[in-house]
Structure 1
Amino acid sequence: MKPTAYFSMEFAIDQALKTYAGGLGFLAGSFFKAAKRLNYPIVGVSILWSYGYYDQVRDREGRMKVEYVRKYYEFLEDIKLKVPVTINNTTVWVKAYKLEEDVFNTCPIYFLTTDIPENDYLSRTISYHLYDGNNLTHIAQEIVLGIGGYKVIKECENVKLFHINEAHALPLGFKLLAEYGLDYVREHLVFTTHTPVPAGNEVQDIHLLKNMGFFDTVDITTAEKLGGNPFNLTVAALRMSKRANAVSKLHKKTTEKMWDWVKDKCPIIYITNAQDRHYWQDPIIRDAAKEYDYEKLRERKMELKKQLFEEVADQTGKIFDPEIMTVVWARRFVDYKRPYLPLYDENRLRELLENRKIQIIWAGKPHPNDTNAQITFNWIVSKTRNLKGAAILTGYELKLSKLLKLGSDIWLNTPKRPNEASGTSGMTASMNASIHMSTLDGWHVEWVEMYPEDSFTIGDGINVSDEFEAKCMYEQLEIAADMYDTKEWWKKACNCVNHIVEFFDAERMVKEYATKMYV
């Protein structure tokens, strides 16, 4: 494969390095861990967010609130490199730090910052917050990632191919276009598209982008031919890339339908997302499942549940019982993922809880500017106060995510089809004997095709109304609860652990990128 630079707004590498928001970062982190083990010539480019995404804490009444705390990272190497980038007719200096391979056993990653004394206050704020809610700042971040990242790579690495993970780094394509022409760009740029919801496919005023420096020296007429007016970043990426990929089989169909009107777009294939078992999987669970040692698996699972329940008690004052089937809904808090669905019929949920059939935990981070999602989160806070066996946790980052996956029995996934491009949290839960229960969306479609008995499926993928799928969800929870802690349950759990890594491990994913995208 060709030496490749992988540009991503976020990387979830380790709890100590808070440069991620959610699934996009988790994917990039697993990608770079697996690529390192495979010894592939890949280097990462991202931004060193001074305040991370945000710190999710509680106010005096127990509701979630957003706080920003400056982050410091002693383990990043200062490579003594600064490059200039023009943003809104102003020179902004971009400083690069390097995460060496041996720190977290990943391929190397260059992290960029504008938060240095050479810049004025406004320029310094560009790299303050991941996914800043101010549109001008957001555009500036994309220019720093794309053009600043390209300049750093040109100074430090011998790269033959550029991979943009989502369209945030698209200014890189225009920088290449300005220097080498469109034919060159179409031979040296590949693109991964993710969420099909509008918020995940950015549209901007083309004149604003031109004035900001998004297109480098490329004229606005050429930019309009590529991305339209208003300018659609995803459309332009599809027209400028050699190849693009969706992140699951169903997502490919959704993507092709969504962009079937786009002429001159590149071929769109699919490479289903995966996660790194070496990071996520508990070795005792892995070995017990291989041996189909139900007693050993149960014993370990109970230990891990108790560890999770210590966190529940610490945050909420609720004491959970490890003997009761524990359901977890945990991921990015956004409307299409429907975090509210378990509470759709509150009486039905209350009945399940009071009959000690289930316990349920929510966790996840809303965007700091998504008021509706934060209202939903705090609505669940208020609802769970008076529901015995129900809780919602704050601080959803790598550490808590792993704790939840290790300690849960059911990993509940409720997106409204076809909005979930892939989703990956259920993969790592399944690696730890937490059985996936999901609507027919994202990667779950493929999981059910491969091993229909290794999970629980909500609905039929046709009627996607809240009412119908909530009813199906409660029915599946009843079925699972009746099966829980029986021989049949532990056999299902062992099958789940053993089968999930056959396809949904990151090494398969990285090999597919190498053979299908990087050749």
Structure 2
Amino acid sequence: MSNNDYQKKVAYFSMEIAIDQTMKTYSGGLGFLAGSHMRSAYELNQNLVGVTMLWKYGYYDQVRAENSHMEAKFIQKFYSFLEDTGITVDIKVHDGLVKVKAYLLRPEIFGTAPIYFLSTDLPENDYVSQTICHHLYDSNLSTRIAQEIILGAGGAKVLEQVGDIDIYHMNEAHPLPLTFYLYSKHRDFEKLRSQVVFTTHTPEKAGNSEYDFNLLFKMNYFSGLEPEEVYQISGERGEKMGCTPAGLRMSKKANAVSQLHKEVARDMWKDVVDPRHILGITNSQNAKYWQDYKLARHLKSGDDEALLARKKELKKRLFHEVALQEGDLFDENVLTIVWARRFAAYKRPELITRDLYQFLDLLKDSEYPVQIIWAGKPYPKDHGAVEIFNHLIDITYTHKNCAILVGYELDLSAKIKKGADIWLNTPRITREASGTSGMTASMNGALNLSINDGWIPEYAKEGENCFIIPSRTDFNSIEEQDDADFDALMKVLKEQVLPTYYKNPKKWLEMMKASMQDIFPFFESGRMADQYYRELYNAEVKEDLVIKK
């Protein structure tokens, strides 16, 4: 598209955006994706601004306790490079007004679209109001809802002082209050829908919030609208409001984040919207930020020797971090398997350890040695996920070829992806909407060893650019599925991955190069940012696909 096709003024609302290691305003994949979108919007000169929250204590700093278990620290952050815009707006939360100040991250600072960061941590606010922007995804329900009101309604009100907005893009349902704020201004449902697009990122229940209507009305979630108006435009009635169904109904177009997720989402929400309302715009990541430029240069020049030498150098850099954190000295000549992303039960970080005896045999294999690294942040109040993280520490700390790293943020994520040989991805099938970490690993010469879920079916050429773990959904229980997937994982590892790496280095090199080449151009976020304009922002509503009765 030409720059003329990017002229609609778009405001991109996201609860988290991962911009730079210096800005800890994100938790994981949603933020990483938003950051890549902001970078590509800048590179394409799109007429887009971001809107997010300025989290005083970030998500959390992941450190170690005395026994080496994970510990969450909440440390105040300062960002002197953010510009005070002078814009402060009042937003009603409960019965009081909360002042919301907007700070601007200018494009030239990190090479992104301009981004407005919203804060309530102001001396003019009472202490409770100040705490609204203290913790990303606060565990207190009322605080979480207040955060969404500030992001959605507060962000929309800030933008009124910046200039006209043509399209409001809700990245997930967190900013949903903006739709009710916009509707309260003109009371025109079709006008509202023509202005709003919506991205749904997950089939997981935790990512599709439902809130008690009575609480939402008490907190002024609906910008003063009467109950019957809210029920009518959201299509939600009863005791609770489903945020995702409401977002789907109040948008002109919506999208899932992979082609497989599109089918899952269409089936999930078939009683809410016509399936054609939900498009598939596959997530992608920004190569300029994520790809090692020397690896890319050697691949382009066809210098295989230099490519392999650079990969070993990147492994050494990762292994320096392993030595610092764990005291283990890894070998750059040994196959290195990495599992690193947000720690959540359905992603199954511990799957490779399911049969401890087989796992220990894998660690002790002298013919085909391996090194395994885990990293990622669980939600700090998700005690089950934290327990999995700590359990992995407990069962591996005596093994010199295993490491569990803390501090999984942008810098460590990049270091791990550049140093990995195998990027292990083991979600329960159909529950990983996209899983973009594997894209950035592939950009850096890692091979995906993955369940065929999320973005992988669109990319995978089995045995050519990745390894696939066969999986099914027709099991009687989760335990039965996990047993079968563990067996399949170990079979692929022992019969394909390890023999190829150690016995057929020529094939490994060809797969490594294919892994890097096949990412482009589709899984680079320039395509994604362009597709959003073409298929969502510039789309017209030609037929009513919304609100099934």
TM superposition score normalised by structure 1? 0.98
Query: Counterpart in 1 of 2:535?
Result: 516
Residue 87 of structure 2 is aligned to residue 81 of structure 1: yes
Query: Counterpart in 1 of 2:357?
Result: 347
Query: Counterpart in 2 of 1:288?
Result: 298
Query: Counterpart in 2 of 1:475?
Result: 491
For residues 365 and 332 of structure 2, what CA distance do their matches in structure 1 show? 15
Residue segments in structure 1 that go unaligned for 5+ positions in a row: none
For residues 497 and 256 of structure 1, what CA distance do their matches in structure 2 show? 31
* Contact 2:208–2:242 (Cα < 8 Å) also in 1: yes
Query: Counterpart in 1 of 2:326?
Result: 316
Correspondence for 2:16 among 2, 10, 26: 10
What is the Cα deviation at residue 157 of structure 1?
2.7
Query: Counterpart in 1 of 2:216?
Result: 209
For the residue of structure 1 that corresponds to 2:516, the secondary structure is helix
Query: Counterpart in 2 of 1:378?
Result: 390
For residues 320 and 5 of structure 1, what CA distance do their matches in structure 2 show? 46
Correspondence for 1:228 among 230, 237, 258: 237
Correspondence for 1:195 among 202, 205, 213: 202
What is the Cα deviation at residue 266 of structure 1?
7.6
> What letter corresponds to residue 464 of structure 2 in structure 1?
E
For residues 471 and 325 of structure 2, what CA distance do their matches in structure 1 show? 37
For residues 452 and 462 of structure 1, what CA distance do their matches in structure 2 show? 23
For residues 383 and 375 of structure 2, what CA distance do their matches in structure 1 show? 17
Query: Counterpart in 1 of 2:105?
Result: 99
Indicate the larger mover: 186-195 or 470-479. 470-479
1:46-125 superposed matches below 5 A: 46-125=52-131
* Contact 1:243–1:266 (Cα < 8 Å) also in 2: no
For residues 358 and 452 of structure 1, what CA distance do their matches in structure 2 show? 20
For residues 306 and 264 of structure 1, what CA distance do their matches in structure 2 show? 51
What is the Cα deviation at residue 461 of structure 1?
3.9
**1:67-117 Cα deviation digits (max 9, x unpaired):** 100000011001111100000011000011000000001000000000010
Q: How many residues align?
A: 518
1:126–1:265 CA distance, 2 compared to 1 (3 A): farther
Residue segments in structure 2 that go unaligned for 5+ positions in a row: 1-5, 476-480, 539-549
For residues 480 and 81 of structure 1, what CA distance do their matches in structure 2 show? 56
1:323-334 superposed matches below 5 A: 323-334=333-344
> What letter corresponds to residue 385 of structure 1 in structure 2?
Y
Indicate the larger mover: 509-518 or 263-272. 263-272
Query: Counterpart in 2 of 1:42?
Result: 48
TM superposition score normalised by structure 2? 0.92
For residues 160 and 387 of structure 1, what CA distance do their matches in structure 2 show? 56
Query: Counterpart in 2 of 1:172?
Result: 178
For the residue of structure 2 that corresponds to 1:375, the secondary structure is helix
**1:440-464 Cα deviation digits (max 9, x unpaired):** 110011112x676210000144457
Indicate the larger mover: 451-460 or 32-41. 451-460
Residue 148 of structure 2 is aligned to residue 148 of structure 1: no
1:264–1:482 CA distance, 2 compared to 1 (3 A): closer
Query: Counterpart in 2 of 1:455?
Result: 466
Query: Counterpart in 2 of 1:253?
Result: 263
Residue 491 of structure 2 is aligned to residue 484 of structure 1: no
* Contact 1:245–1:271 (Cα < 8 Å) also in 2: yes
> What letter corresponds to residue 249 of structure 1 in structure 2?
Q
* Contact 1:63–1:378 (Cα < 8 Å) also in 2: yes
Query: Counterpart in 2 of 1:391?
Result: 403
* Contact 1:290–1:494 (Cα < 8 Å) also in 2: no
> What letter corresponds to residue 465 of structure 2 in structure 1?
D
What is the Cα deviation at residue 386 of structure 1?
2.2
For residues 399 and 14 of structure 2, what CA distance do their matches in structure 1 show? 40
1:504–1:384 CA distance, 2 compared to 1 (3 A): same
For residues 263 and 312 of structure 1, what CA distance do their matches in structure 2 show? 48
Correspondence for 1:358 among 350, 370, 374: 370
1:125-136 superposed matches below 5 A: 125-136=131-142
* Contact 2:459–2:518 (Cα < 8 Å) also in 1: no
What is the Cα deviation at residue 219 of structure 1?
1.4
Indicate the larger mover: 410-419 or 469-478. 469-478
* Contact 2:343–2:349 (Cα < 8 Å) also in 1: yes
* Contact 2:266–2:275 (Cα < 8 Å) also in 1: no
**1:203-260 Cα deviation digits (max 9, x unpaired):** 0101110110111122112323423331000010011000000000000010011111
Indicate the larger mover: 354-363 or 78-87. 354-363
Query: Counterpart in 1 of 2:517?
Result: 498
What is the Cα deviation at residue 495 of structure 1?
1.2
* Contact 1:195–1:419 (Cα < 8 Å) also in 2: yes
For residues 82 and 283 of structure 1, what CA distance do their matches in structure 2 show? 42
Indicate the larger mover: 461-470 or 420-429. 461-470
Residue 423 of structure 2 is aligned to residue 411 of structure 1: yes
> What letter corresponds to residue 138 of structure 2 in structure 1?
D
> What letter corresponds to residue 351 of structure 2 in structure 1?
L
CA RMSD of aligned residues (A): 1.3
For residues 171 and 462 of structure 1, what CA distance do their matches in structure 2 show? 36
For residues 408 and 267 of structure 2, what CA distance do their matches in structure 1 show? 34
Runs of 4+ with deviation above 3 angstroms: 263-266, 460-464
* Contact 2:14–2:171 (Cα < 8 Å) also in 1: yes
| Identity within the alignment, % | 47
Query: Counterpart in 1 of 2:413?
Result: 401
Correspondence for 2:249 among 239, 261, 268: 239
Query: Counterpart in 2 of 1:182?
Result: 189
For residues 219 and 442 of structure 1, what CA distance do their matches in structure 2 show? 40
What is the Cα deviation at residue 294 of structure 1?
2.3
* Contact 1:432–1:497 (Cα < 8 Å) also in 2: yes
Residue 322 of structure 2 is aligned to residue 305 of structure 1: no
For residues 153 and 295 of structure 2, what CA distance do their matches in structure 1 show? 45
For the residue of structure 2 that corresponds to 1:456, the secondary structure is strand
For the residue of structure 2 that corresponds to 1:517, the secondary structure is helix
* Contact 1:239–1:265 (Cα < 8 Å) also in 2: no
* Contact 2:325–2:405 (Cα < 8 Å) also in 1: yes
* Contact 1:459–1:468 (Cα < 8 Å) also in 2: no
For residues 47 and 251 of structure 1, what CA distance do their matches in structure 2 show? 27
For residues 217 and 36 of structure 1, what CA distance do their matches in structure 2 show? 36
